[in-house]
A and B are shown apart, each in its own frame.
Chain A
Amino acid sequence: MERRLDGEACTFCCYGCCIAFQVKSGRHEEWEAAWLLIQLGVGGFLSMNIMMFSLLLYSDAFTGVDAGVLPWIHFLLWIFATPAVVLLGGPYLREMWLNGMQGRVTSSALIVLGVAAAYLYSAFAVFEGSTHVYFDTAVMVLMLFTVGRYLEAVGRARAARDLEPLLAAESESATVVDGAAEIRGPVREVSAGMLVRVRPGERIPVDGVVVEGESNTDEAVITGESRQVTKGAGSKVIAGSINIDGPLLIQSSADGTATRWARICRSVREALGRRSPTQRLADRVVGVSVPLVLALGGLTIVYWAQSLPFDRALLIGLSVLVVACPCAVGLAAPMATSLGIGRLARHGCLVRDPGVLETLARVRLLAFDKTGTLTAGKARLVGVYGEEVGFDQVLARAAGLERLSEHGLAQAITAAAAQRDITPLVTSDVRTVPGRGIRGSAEGRPVAAGNGRLMNDLGWPLPPSLAERARSLEASGHSVVYVGWGERVHAVLSLDDSPLPEAQAAIAALRKRGLDATLLTGDLAQAAERIAALVGIKDVQAGLSPEAKRLALDRLRHDHVSVAMVGDGLNDGPVLAAADIGIAVGSATDLARETAGLVLPADGFWMLPWIVDVARAVRRTILANLMWAFGYNLVALTFAAFGLLQPILAAAVMAGSSILVVVNSLRLERLPDPVPALMPAQRSDINVERTHNVSGISAMAGPAVGHDLATRGPLDP
């Protein structure tokens, strides 16, 4: 149904949601929200009076009541019932009318027709002087449905509670500093380059760089991990993180609408707006069942009217209409899905499509990309091999050249030198040779670092022992850089990408949950197998082009029911899209990846087992809800059709059924938070080890590396 609120057209799935939105929402006039509660309250007052009179009529106190008084009591009931039916039934009538105009028959039609039949029959009876009226049924059915829907809507609001801080913050304002003036305005009006003041406790409104001030920030909503990060002048800050304890002046690096934060919000909103396959199926079932129920109600009346008085037959028909209202079916999937999406979003995991959770719960195989997914995606220097040269000599020359390059391998070499306090040699005439390496001169002699082709081009001989070493290193999947000076090659550097410290534990945890893992990579087979062995994956397919990866995935999908592809998204677009679910991990800059259905935060790999748990819990909840809702409808419908269920009881159980679905879904809130597969202490040890990776190489890279930097012996002059 559509309503205009604050001049804006808002669409609601039902009357109950509209109530909850207005009662909960701070956007609207206070009295407007109150008006809806007034409707419920006044409706309650009228219906309770009707119930009291009706109870008295039903009870022994009025048995044998004076026949002259009875019509007056009936008239009084009509007086109370008429405004109650108008007040409480109006929204359902409007809903039925609007849907009817679009050619749809929805559950509101069941309520309206049932209530209208009971009310009109009773009103006719009052003026005809008949002995039976059913105003209590008409009004209490409406009242129970309205209260039930209100409670459902409050449940939905609770389901969205996890998302509230996320989505509410999108509309927050920012303080823009313009000279001496500070102007507070909507975030969307902030453009790149503007200065923005963020006070302690505020959410940072835009991505940017700190210009002034120092403070701790909490980036949990972006990174998924709640820890304080100190930011000072020159530090980058991310929109959506919380400024904890100091004022900051930041220069915006993006428009307010283009921040990562805004993209997250949009993506979550879109996901909530879509319908999952189960929801769509439930919608279709409801669409078909409503006309069928209407027909069944009509048939029931006709059948019973042959053996019972018409009013009793009408009442049985009314029970059929009321009890068949598929409110709980409509709620079963969305409630659980919203709770799951909210739960994941609170830990920085973004679901881009509500169907993802249901599919993930069915997945039996996870295919992983290697670089950037199972590994950090950054090369590390893991070995230096030389002939008659010193370790420091080699690194000083290599770093002297490489510090001027942006290449990934160059950065790894420079970082290794810096960590060991080796001063890069001053080099001049530095020139990058594309596809080969870099060269220049130091201490008056030519110096070069690069691949074998560069050394060939230069005509520098390669000692046989180094050539042999380089071959074996390449065969085991390492990257090799030759370093030479004085017109000959003196050393070989081996570089490698090592697995994420948490990958092994995460994959073991997934295996425990019955999920197989496979590695699909474009890298060399040896490198892929080494990483796979370290993280505990047996099945490896290496040397695959993006197209070959997609074909490999198709084959896997053929063998398994559902396959999820986990990739860092940089070059995995096609394969992420081709999988049943694409899961993008790694680089936070890829949050808005179009092809992945689920986006994990930068350090979120370890959360995979927990996400699978959440997805399975959501699926279990949806199935339980649907089984309950359909089962209830079927059983209750049978009872009603046989005349064994009073309409008021039918309405009460119907409302109760919806509330049960809500309560069952809210159990998802009690799911435990994700726990790192590795204990925090272990994680921090490994981080330290990675930071100082020079001394931790042998442990990480395994025995394939002969001489590591920690055992400098063979290289000492």
Chain B
Amino acid sequence: MFYYLVIFAAGFAGSFHCIGMCGGFACALGRDQRGGGATLLRHLLYNTGRLTTYCFLGGLAGAVGQVICTTQGVAAAPLFNGSLDIAQRILAIVAGLLMIAMALQFFGLLQVFHRLAIGFGGSTFALSLRSLVTARSSAAPLAFGVFNGFLPCPLVYAFAAQAASTAGALPGFLVMAWFGLGTFPAMLMMGGVGRILGPAGRRRGVRLAGGFILFLGLITLGRGLLPSHAHIGLAWLGGHST
């Protein structure tokens, strides 16, 4: 459980990054003329849409990890037949390195990587969604949230990598669900009160998120590199075992 709480905390810290990137959308959704209750519902729907996408991506990434690592639950043979442990270790190393790279660019390093991640189709996608923000239908915030969840985002990539390393649809789903829930409070507040933090505060928050991702990345990398008996990370965190 503690593992998922760390993920939640990472999501919460990461939401300072979300404020910079997706906060504009939340602000654009704005307040509902019909009052506070309707506004809350509007933003709950938006965030539920976002969360659904994250959960889906997590489940999918976990299932892909599962296909790579194990025969359990799927009809297909694993790609690394007979070397289950090696496959899982490779996956953990790849995911760990990816998370460390993401964390580094949260500290202002590897900006090229960041630009690549943001630039890929993001602007076209965002442009298509413009009309959804102002649509009157109450289903629009939900749809908008669903699409928003697919927007290219280094934070989502990092946790999707973590989800893949869990090599299971359910743990993958849970990783992204806890991460998404972590981003809930800040994004919900953004919708209600507009900007809640100045740029300096956001920068500190982004660094904090980077710290969490680095921490999780190192643990994941450790799972791939260290001998089995030294798998202190997850045991200590009380996380899932695969």
Contacts and interface: CB of A to CB of B under 8 A. Distances in A.
A38 B169 contact: no
B49 A31 contact: no
Interface stretch (A42-50, A301-309, A317-325, A357-365): A42-50
Contacts of B49: 41, 45
B60 A51 contact: yes
B133 to A, nearest CB: 9
Contacts of A55: 59-60, 62-63, 169, 173
A48 B147 contact: no
B134 interface: yes
Contacts of B60: 51, 55
B186 interface: no
A61 interface: yes
A30 B136 CA distance: 10
A41 B169 contact: no
Interface stretch (B35-43, B109-117, B138-146): B138-146
A49 B52 contact: yes
A579 to B, nearest CB: 42
Interface string A1-35: 00000000000000000000001000000110111
Contact of A41 (B55, B134, B144, B170): B144
A39 B142 CA distance: 10
A63 interface: yes
Contacts of B129: 37
B72 interface: yes
B56 A42 contact: no
Interface string A583-605: 00000000000000000000000
A56 interface: yes
Given A23-B128, A30-B131, A61-B168, A48 B146 contact: yes
Interface in B85-137: 124, 128-129, 131-132, 134-137
B131 A33 contact: yes
What DSSP secondary structure best describes chain B's contact surface? helix
Contact of B73 (A41, A48, A58): A58
A34 B132 CA distance: 5
B52 A56 contact: no
A42 B59 contact: no
Nearest to B76: A646
| Listed residue (B52, B124, B131) with the most chain A CB atoms within 10 angstroms of its CB | B131
A41 B144 CA distance: 7
A173 B132 CA distance: 29
Contact of A37 (B52, B143, B171): B143
Q: Chain A: interface residue count, which band?
A: 20 to 34
B142 A52 contact: no
A59 B170 contact: yes
Given A44-B143, A52-B56, A58 B132 contact: no
Interface in A212-264: none
B140 A34 contact: yes
B140 A56 contact: no
B183 interface: no
B143 A41 contact: yes
Contact of B136 (A31, A45, A59, A60): A31
Contact of B72 (A38, A52, A56, A60): A60
A655 B137 CA distance: 29
Contacts of A425: none
29 contacts: A23-B131, A30-B131, A30-B134, A30-B135, A31-B135, A34-B132, A34-B140, A35-B135, A37-B129, A37-B132, A38-B135, A38-B137, A38-B139, A41-B132, A41-B143, A41-B147, A42-B142, A44-B146, A48-B53, A55-B169, A56-B169, A58-B74, A59-B63, A60-B72, A60-B168, A61-B168, A61-B171, A62-B170, A63-B72
List the 4 shortest-distance A-B pairs measured between CB atoms, nearest first: A41-B143, A34-B135, A61-B170, A59-B169
Interface of A: 23, 30-31, 33-35, 37-42, 44-45, 48-49, 51-52, 55-56, 58-63, 154
Interface of B: 49, 52-53, 55-56, 59-60, 62-63, 66, 70, 72-74, 124, 128-129, 131-132, 134-137, 139-140, 142-147, 168-171, 173
